[in-house]
């Protein structure tokens, strides 16, 4: 009886561990403090990805606008910040705290995920539609208002195409 219990317990632990590893391996991207995700989970929502760095004054000036946009629109728009210098761990967390980056931070290079080149200058913002198509590559600081305007314009454009 005792050996059956140990066999079942060990089998259960092995299966659980296997499922956890499998779930981790199936992630397409990772965010700081929020784990991983699949690209297919982004479908159906607008996606805004912003490249920033601590040595970029316009990036730091833009961050409160990006945060305000995120807070107001997070029900239908996924917003991610990506540190251009590819910082990780404590170093990235310290910069996020120092510069009040209040949007999820990607750890995975968006260029590798979506197939675009790294921007030549910062700040850079990329907008994808709910089907995952890249609609805009914006260089320079954005505002909450400019991002809302662009997404609303694309929504109207998409709605018009559906109606025609």
- pLDDT profile of the chain (164 residues), mean per 10: 50 44 71 91 95 96 96 95 95 93 95 93 97 95 97 84 57
pTM flag (> 0.75): yes
Instruction: Record the tokens describing residue 38, joined without a space.
Output: 């699949």
CATH class of this structure's domain 30-163: alpha beta
Determine the pLDDT at residue 33. 86
Instruction: Record the tokens describing residue 3, joined without a space.
Output: 């050996």
DSSP category for residue 95: H
Determine the pLDDT at residue 34. 84
Do residues 124 and 106 lie in contact, with contact meaning Cβ atoms separated by under 8 Å?
no
Determine the pLDDT at residue 157. 84
Determine the pLDDT at residue 7. 47
Task: Please state the domain extents for the chain.
Answer: 30-163
Determine the pLDDT at residue 45. 94
Q: Cα–Cα distance between 71 and 77 in angstroms, integer?
A: 10
């Amino acid at each position: 009886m005792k050996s059956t219990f140990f066999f079942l317990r060990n089998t259960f632990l092995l299966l659980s561990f296997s499922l956890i590893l499998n779930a981790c391996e199936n992630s397409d991207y990772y965010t700081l403090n929020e784990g991983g995700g699949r690209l297919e989970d982004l479908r159906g929502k607008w996606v805004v990805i912003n490249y920033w760095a601590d040595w970029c004054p316009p990036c730091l000036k833009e961050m409160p606008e990006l945060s305000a946009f995120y807070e107001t629109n997070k029900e239908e728009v996924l917003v991610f910040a990506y540190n251009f210098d590819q910082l990780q761990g404590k170093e990235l967390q310290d910069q996020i705290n120092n510069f009040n980056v209040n949007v999820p931070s990607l750890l995975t290079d968006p260029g590798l995920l979506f197939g675009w080149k790294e921007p030549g200058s910062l700040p850079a913002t990329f907008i994808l539609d709910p089907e995952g198509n890249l609609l805009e590559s914006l260089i320079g600081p954005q505002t909450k208002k400019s991002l809302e305007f662009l997404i609303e314009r694309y929504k109207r454009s998409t709605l018009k195409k559906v109606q025609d």
